[in-house]
Amino acid sequence: NAGVTQTPKFRVLKTGQSMTLLCAQDMNHEYMYWYRQDPGMGLRLIHYSVGEGTTAKGEVPDGYNVSRLKKQNFLLGLESAAPSQTSVYFCASSYKIPQYLDGYTFGSGTRLTVV
């Protein structure tokens, strides 16, 4: 049982380049989330999804796009990377259980540097 797998683990981009971060979960979770964490700070929600084919904006969505074509996968795209997007990106997933929410399961993160 792998849980939440994020690829790649590390990446260096030049300003203006694009890339896609992949998050895959094998727990049949309905909800999936993308967070970013800047040094010494907490996590900020970028985008989230409550099910296949649906996505929504979080606190800091500008400069990012997402897609969830399959229930198990949640993709985060950067169309034109900027140095301000240098951060550690975490994907999380959880069940949707009416009136009861299990905890998030987080991936190990993708460390992205934009130069």
**60 lies in the site for other proteins, by CB under 8 A:** no
Among 50, 60, 61, 71, binds other proteins (CB under 8 A): 50
SS3 91: strand
Q: What amino acid is encoded at 54 in this protein?
A: T
Which x/- pattern over 15-44 shows residues binding other proteins (rule: CB under 8 A)? ----------------x-x-x----xxxxx
Q: Does 105 bind other proteins (CB under 8 A)?
A: yes
Q: Which of 12, 15, 56, 70 binds other proteins (CB under 8 A)?
A: 56
Opening angle at CA 46, ends 32 and 103, nearest 5: 40
- The structure tokens listed for 94 are 């959880």
* Among 10, 28, 39, 98, contact with other proteins (rule: CB under 8 A): 98
Alpha carbons 27 and 47: distance in angstroms, whole number: 20
Q: Which stretch binds other proteins (CB under 8 A): 12-20, 53-61, 62-70, 72-80?
A: 53-61
Phi, psi of 85 (to 5 degrees): -95, 5
Nearest residue to 29 (alpha-carbon basis) of 92, 102, 95? 95
Q: Name the site residues for other proteins (rule: CB under 8 A).
A: 4, 31, 33, 35, 40-45, 48, 50, 56, 58-59, 90, 92, 94, 96-101, 103-109
